[in-house]
Structure 1
Amino acid sequence: MRNTSILYPLFLVGLLFFSCDSTEKKEKEAASSSEINAKNNSISADSSSTAAQTAVEEQVKDTFKLSEENAIDFFFNYAKEVKETKVKITTSMGSFTIELYDNVPYHKANFIYLAKKGYFDDTQFHRVVPNFIIQGGNSDNTKTSKKRRAIGRYLLPPDTRKGHKHHRGTISMPSSERDNPHKLASPYEFFIVVTRPGSYHLDGSYTPFGRVIEGMDVVDKINAVEIDDGEWPMENVYIKKAEAF
């Protein structure tokens, strides 16, 4: 009985230590598990936050529209980033290449911006005046008007005092048909002079912003198509692609 009475308290003490050790181990495991979950939740929250921020940025980018209030500031900054100096225009009758003038930055930046946005693709040369000009950038397709609405409604100021004249092969920007006493330029359209040696009566009223450096024979071919009474080609001449480089 004496041995049993000694061993029993020792057994209780051992059981108590084992119980404490087991409890402490479970508490550590629980704490570790909570810490891992907290980290995972933090990572998940950070990922969600980043994804949400990206989505907002993309939405802002997609919903940005040019207007008469922001266009000048936008193209002033855009012109500083533009590396491209030429645009190749591929039409249903062949292709030609335009080199853009550096000292008319708003018109140059605008043309490159629209080309890179894909605006000119699937538009037409909608006005042809024999031995004078071909004019492009419009269409009777509703897709074109949708593109304009998505990009924005704005005009550009004329920039006619940079020494450029309307020689043959010059690309220039027509003025808007809206109430427009200052001859602000319609940014979505352009015309190319085919007159030999040029159409200099246009100087001072419209802004030359580049010239055809390759493929002038294609421009002449377009100028020779049959037209209706409204100077619209009887058979549509499409701009398939405008590529800035």
Structure 2
Amino acid sequence: MKFIRATLAIILIISSSSCKKETKKEEKIAPKKVIEKKIDSVKPKVVKEVPKEKPWDSLNHKNVTAFLTEYGKQNKETKVVIKTKYGSIKLRLYNETPLHRASFVFLSKIGYFDKTVFHRIAGDMAIQGGESDGQESTDIKNKYKNYRIPAEMSDKRKHVYGSLALARQLDYNPYKKSNPFNFYIISTKRGAPHLDGDYTVFGEVISGFSTVRKISKVKTGRSDWPIVDIPMTITVLD
């Protein structure tokens, strides 16, 4: 009997201990619920969205091809009009020279050429535009790091009457990269075949030849700069 009583006592002690342990476990649950409620009551942080950089602000001398290729896909216009006090000149840009076309459309749309003039009348051979005495055009060039365009010359595109091409730096330019800020239009019916293979022709005059001729006859001073400035505006059509 003593053995049985002792055994029962041990069982009761073990049962009592396990109950206590379970009670302690249950007591630990309540604080967790309180914590969860506190967490739920905290308002989430509002993350301000950083405004995306304007696409044209990324253009520089290192990413010219990639930028102009993408810009050309999104801006497929091939016609522009130059307006001057002598009349208008309508131009068609070639898709076969995608980088030059995209660059000319880009600079026209941001208003670069509207801040420039026809700054050189090369005899009756060509009229040249894209420079200015003002600071605004210089600021735009600096903003885009004076980028240059890889040559896109073709035997099919010659310097004939009304051809549109870009000027370029002659020295230290073995790949004949074009200056996007400086264009010229052939103003003589003889054309300028001696320029073929050295400069990229990327468009042509489709109307306004009379305006081209008028500009080609103005009086010039030093460096063939017209004595009276010939400002311009260029509008992208379609």
Q: Give the shorter-chain TM-score range.
A: 0.7 to 0.9
CA–CA separation in structure 2 for the residues paired with 1:229 and 1:80: 41
Correspondent of 1:74 among 67, 88, 108: 67
* TM-score, scaled to structure 2: 0.77
3-state SS in 2 of match to 1:106 = helix
Deviation at 1:151, TM superposition (A): 2.9
Runs (4+) of structure 1 exceeding 3 A deviation are none
Corresponding residue of 1:15: none
Match of residue 222 from structure 1 = 215
Q: 2 CA distance for matches of 1:194 and 1:63?
A: 32
1:58-84 superposed Cα distances (whole Å, 9 cap, x missing partner): xx2278242221001111222222221
1:53 aligns with 2:50: yes
In terms of Rg, which structure is larger? Answer: 2
1:107-151 alpha-carbon deviations (Å, 9 max, x no partner): 111111111111111200011012100000111111110111223
Q: 1:110 to 1:163 in 2, by over 3 A?
A: same
The answer to whether the 8 Å contact 1:131/1:223 transfers is: yes
**1 CA distance for matches of 2:59 and 2:171?**
18
Alignment of 1:226-241 (within 5 A): 226-241=219-234
Match among 117, 134, 149 for residue 141 of structure 1: 134
Task: Check the 8 A contact 1:112/1:244 in 2, yes or no.
Answer: no
Residue equivalent to 2:93: 100
What secondary structure, in the 3-state scheme, does the structure 1 residue paired with 2:198 have? Answer: coil
| CA deviation profile, 1:31-87 (whole Å, cap 9, x unmatched) | 9xxx8x97xx65x82xx62xx322xx1xx2278242221001111222222221101
Distance in 2, matches of 1:215 and 1:105, equals 24
Distance 2:98 2:185 in 1: 19
Matched length = 201
Q: Is the 8 A contact 1:170 1:193 kept in 2?
A: yes
* Paired residue secondary structure (2:114): coil
What's the secondary structure of 1:188's corresponding residue? coil
Structure 1 unaligned regions, length at least 5:
1-30
Instruction: Report the CA distance between 1:94 and its aligned residue.
Output: 1.7
Amino acid across the alignment from 1:69: K
Structure 1 Cα separation of the partners of residues 86 and 59 of structure 2: 32
Tell me the secondary structure at the aligned position of residue 238 of structure 1.
coil
Contact 2:77 2:236 in 1 (8 A): no
Letter in 1 for 2:101: K
Residue 183 to residue 83, structure 1, CA distance change in 2 (3 Å): closer
SS in 2 for 1:67: coil
2:195 is the counterpart of 1:202 = yes
Q: Gaps (5+ residues) in structure 2?
A: 1-36
Per-residue Cα deviation, 1:129-183 (whole angstroms, up to 9, x for no partner): 1210000011111111011122332111221125111110000011125522332
The question of whether the paired residues in 1 share the 8 Å contact of 2:78 and 2:93 is answered with yes
- Taking structure 1 as the reference length, the TM-score comes to 0.75
- 1:184 match: 177
What do residues 188-230 of structure 1 show as CA deviations (whole Å, max 9, x unaligned)? 1100001113111111111110001011111111111000131
Aligned counterparts of 1:159 and 1:106: Cα–Cα separation in 2? 8
1:171 and 2:168 aligned: no
